[in-house]
Structure 1
Amino acid sequence: MSGSTVYECLTYRNENINRALEALRAGKMIQIYDSDSREGETDLVIPAKAVTFKDVKWMRKDAGGLICVAVDPVASKQLRLPFMAELVREAGKTSDVLGEIVEKEGDLKYDSHSSFSLWVNHRETRTGIPDNERALTIRKIGEITEKKLSGDEIHFGDEFRTPGHVALLRAAEGLLDDRKGQTELSVALARMAGITPAMVVCEMLDDNNGKALSKEDSKEYGKEHGLVFLEGQEIVEAYMKWTGLE
């Protein structure tokens, strides 16, 4: 079955997924809840190439979590983005402190490993932290992801420096076959939507209890702001249909 045929079936059968894909193609924000058995968190999600300073402000003020950019595994490999744990593990060979603190098997209660890669600023930014400068860095990550996937001979270091203020997340090589975190869920949606697979994610936090915002409160927020709310399992099932695995 061709990709387009799978997609036609998918959109016909799951209107919620269809609405989310349409929103992402239009550069709009959506919400993704991973699962009760994983982080149990809802993220605000938007395509990196579409981000403005107003979107960064929105995520910073209304979500409150860490603003990260999830990058497709193929592009991550082409851009030679390392996992942060790999860098620290290598540096730990000459530093006892780093060797002691790098994540080990069993450290994460919700997954086998973290998807964190580098923290960067675009070279055109000054400090990198204001909303407009973070927005620039994020858009440029989307642009370089698209260029690299198109076969351009472009080097990551030509445009970005580290340390910086935008966290990169490297999606697992097998995407949802390997890991079902916000990183992989958002990139899977980007692939289905046919947009550049570099997605901004930011956890929604609760101002009243110091915890992640509950699923119920996240849904209510989404209704008030006209956002599509997706659960991780919806995305997994839709992606399997889209890839022809189901």
Structure 2
Amino acid sequence: MVSNGYGENINKAIEALQSGRMILLFDMEGREAETDFTIPAKAVTPSDVRWMRKDAGGLICVALDPHASEKLGLPFMADILREAGQSGNSLGNIVEKGGDLKYDSRSSFSIWVNHRDTRTGIPDNDRALTINKLGEIVDRALDGEIPDFGKEFRTPGHVATLRAARRLVHERMGQTELSIALARIAGITPAMVVCEMLDDNTGRALSKEDAIKYGKDKDLVFVEGEEVVKAYNTWLGSGPDHQKE
């Protein structure tokens, strides 16, 4: 394996993601302390969607690069609701405020979408199509095109999009930012599917220990947020092309 300063485990994760395979991504103790199934959006198949909903059980979301999100005009959901609340209705009262979240200062949720070629949007094949197309439109946006997002997607929909913080892990340490940092290190499209692993017995997040065991049983790389941050900082320092976050 190439010696690049990332560490053997991160290199295994990079190799898996470059091959379009699933990995397990843990954020950190004291935050959500959750493990997410994580896979490149462009690689997702209907079988992957089924796998995530059955074995992970959390919300299937697509984390999007912050620069692509800006070019596509994707807002944060909280900002949409704040603006709607200015008209005098009650929506302004339900928007997250400082201290509302137990794990962070704000969420990364943007809008929920279906691709326009889907029917209802919720079956595994519909969600896989929407996810694939989100990966493709991120590619186009980062290649200099300014795609018409509304021409391809509609909302409300069944796939949650997450807008990564502009400075990624230097601003926020969610799976949204961690997965996009991994995508950048791996040199793949920075549109990543994340889905929390839940415990069928307790209904809570699956413990780190059980997630690690699941990964070993399924031959999935398990990577921790602290490893990703260290590798991302190494990547940023490896050349001038990486300086722009």
TM-score by length of 1: 0.94
Does the CA contact (< 8 Å) of 2:5 and 2:234 recur in 1? yes
Count of residues paired in the alignment: 237
Aligned positions of 1:130-169 closer than 5 A: 130-169=123-162
Q: Which residue of 1 aligns with 2:243?
A: none
Cα deviation digits, residues 24-50 of structure 1 (max 9, x gap): 000000000000110010000000000
2:4 matches 1:9: yes
Shift of 1:235: 0.3
Q: Which residue of 2 aligns with 1:223?
A: 216
In structure 2, the gaps of 5 or more residues are 239-245
Distance 1:8 1:71 in 2: 29
Shift of 1:109: 1.1
The amino acid of 1:98's aligned partner reads: L
The amino acid of 2:108's aligned partner reads: S
Identity value in percent? 67
Distance 1:135 1:216 in 2: 29
Shift of 1:51: 0.3
SS in 1 for 2:188: coil
Q: Which residue of 1 aligns with 2:176?
A: 183
Distance 1:122 1:96 in 2: 30
Segment of structure 1 superposing worse, 93-102 or 186-195: 93-102
Distance 2:146 2:233 in 1: 32
Shift of 1:95: 3.9
Distance 2:109 2:42 in 1: 20
Does the CA contact (< 8 Å) of 2:84 and 2:92 recur in 1? yes
Distance 1:99 1:30 in 2: 38
C-alpha RMSD over aligned residues: 1.1
Distance 1:168 1:242 in 2: 26
Q: Which residue of 2 aligns with 1:24?
A: 17
Distance 1:186 1:10 in 2: 19
Cα deviation digits, residues 202-240 of structure 1 (max 9, x gap): 000000011000000000000010100001000001101
SS in 2 for 1:9: coil
Distance 1:189 1:50 in 2: 15
2:29 matches 1:36: yes
Distance 1:235 1:57 in 2: 27
Distance 1:131 1:166 in 2: 11
In structure 1, the gaps of 5 or more residues are 1-6
The amino acid of 1:75's aligned partner reads: A
Distance 1:16 1:211 in 2: 27
Q: Which residue of 1 aligns with 2:242?
A: none
Distance 2:47 2:166 in 1: 32
Does the CA contact (< 8 Å) of 2:72 and 2:146 recur in 1? no
Distance 1:244 1:231 in 2: 21
Shift of 1:89: 0.4
Aligned positions of 1:117-132 closer than 5 A: 117-132=110-125
TM-score by length of 2: 0.95
Q: Which residue of 1 aligns with 2:69?
A: 76
Cα deviation digits, residues 129-176 of structure 1 (max 9, x gap): 000000000000000000110012311111000000000000001111
Does the CA contact (< 8 Å) of 2:71 and 2:146 recur in 1? no
Out of 183, 193, 206, the position equivalent to 2:186 is 193
SS in 1 for 2:130: helix
SS in 2 for 1:129: coil
Distance 1:78 1:17 in 2: 30
Does the CA contact (< 8 Å) of 2:38 and 2:193 recur in 1? yes
Shift of 1:94: 1.4
Out of 143, 155, 166, the position equivalent to 1:173 is 166
